[in-house]
Amino acid sequence: MNWLAYIPPLLQGAEVTAEIAVVSTLLGALFAFVFGIGKTSRSRAIRWISVVYIEIFRGTSLLVQLFWLYFALPLAGQAIGVDLRFSPITVGILALALNIGAYGAEVVRGALQAVDPDQYEAATALNFTHRQALFRIALPQAIPEMMPTFGNLAVQNLKDTALVSLISLADLAYKAEQIRNFSQDSVTVYSLVLVMYFAMALVLTAFMKLLERSVGRWRRVRA
């Protein structure tokens, strides 16, 4: 079989992979900020909720999380009379987002705690509320520090999308396995897949670098 015939189905899978990676990364960033900020909250309940979420999703395998959401959660829902069945793409996006969000939450928490305490004291002297100090003083200084790590997490999330093929989601890895089973041409198929993942990672890295430079201007403006 001509290797050029592999390209169209692999591109279809790559489109699904890109969609899952983009949506799960954006949703994961939301989780990261919500729970990262939550871990620094003055409320003990909010801190504990954030800690539980972070530790569970950092301390367990992404593959197990994916299987639990896809296979176990619907059964748990049946036991209590609630329909908790979701489509494979919804489960894939949610599992990836929850996982990357837990790691990102620690990045957010660390960056916020690295802000000079004098900044908070100055905000208090200016009669800022805790929320005003967070959003007007701390976050604008902390976000530029988060960006390099967020870039690494986004690329890692892209690579982790290959796991969604295990719940029959027709992403790049799933399409590659189908073609390999039909053609028995493992070398060519997986070489093409390597190139495609690498190309997507390069594009994502370039975008994150641009975003990092854009956000980095905040530091210079504030300086």
Interval 35-46: pLDDT, tens: 999 998 888 999
pTM of the model: 0.90
Please give the average per-residue pLDDT across 2-21, as a whole number: 90
pLDDT, residue 78, reads: 86
Residue 165 token pair: 């093929």
Please give the average per-residue pLDDT across 117-146, as a whole number: 82
Superfamily of domain 3-222: MetI-like (1.10.3720.10)
Interval 42-89: pLDDT, tens: 889 999 999 999 999 999 999 999 999 999 999 998 888 888 889 999
pLDDT, residue 132, reads: 83
> Is the per-residue pLDDT at 147 higher than 80?
yes
